[in-house]
Amino acid sequence: MDDEEDARRTPKRTYAFTAAAVTAAAVLGARAVDAESRWYRGLRKPSWQPPPRAFGAVWTPLYASIAWAGGRALTRARGPARRRLAVSLGVNLTVNAAWTWMFFGLRSPRAGLAGTLLLDLSNAELLRRTARTDARAAAALLPYAAWCAFATALNTSIASRNRTGRRAGAGRAVPRPGAAATRHGRP
C-alpha cells in the first residue's frame, strides 16, 4: 500500500496519531513546569502576565487545535509533502515541549527565550507547510502561533527583568559582575 492509499484508508489513525503526539508533547512539557517554585515566584514579571490558571485554559484548546489541524493536513497531504509535513509537526511539538525544560528545568529565562524564538520559527514553517496542503488546517494553527508569539514577548520581558543569571537547580541568583551581593547572593 502506498502513501496515498494509506492516507485515504486511515484518517482515523492519522488523527489518533496526531492526538497522541500532541498529548505526549503536552505531558512531557508539563513535567518541567513548576510555577510554584521559589525560583519562579522570585522572578520579576510584567504586570500583563496572565494569571497561572489562564495558561491551562489557553493551552488545552490550542493543543486540541494542533491535533485536529495536524490530522487534517496529514490526511490531505500526499507523498513527500506528507512526510515533510509530519517532520515539521514532529519538530514543532519537540520544540514546544522543550521550552518548559529550557525555562523551568534550567531555571533560565534566557534559555527559555531561545526556545520561544525557535518555536516561533518552527510555527512559521509548520504554517507554511500546512497552508500548502489545507487552508482550514492552517487557519486552525493561527491561534497557536499567536499565543506562542505572545509567549515570546512575555519571555523576553521576564528575561530582561531578570538579567542576573540563574544556576540550574540552585534557586538563587548569580550576581552580575561588579554588583554588590547580600548574604543570600542577591544583588
Give the pLDDT of residue 35: 87
Domains and CATH numbers, the chain: 3-31+61-164 (1.20.1260)
Confidence at residue 167, expressed as pLDDT on a 0 to 100 scale: 47
Q: Report the pLDDT value the prediction gives residue 176, as an integer from 0 to 100.
A: 38
Q: Residue type at 36?
A: E
Q: Would you write out the chain's pLDDT as a tens digit for each of its 187 residues?
A: 455 555 555 899 999 999 999 999 999 999 999 888 999 999 999 999 999 889 989 999 999 999 999 999 999 999 999 999 999 999 999 999 999 999 999 999 999 999 999 999 999 999 999 999 999 999 999 999 999 999 999 999 999 999 875 444 444 443 333 333 333 333 3
Radius of gyration of the chain (CA): 19
- pLDDT of amino acid 10: 80
Q: Which single residue is written with the C-alpha cell 531555571?
A: 107
How far apart are the C-alpha atoms of 141 and 144, rounded to whole Å? 5
Looking at residue 52, its pLDDT comes to 86
CB neighbourhood size of 120 (10 A) = 16
- CB neighbour burial string for 53-81, b if at least 16 within 10 angstroms, e if fewer: eeeeebbeebbebbbbbbbbbbbbbeeeb
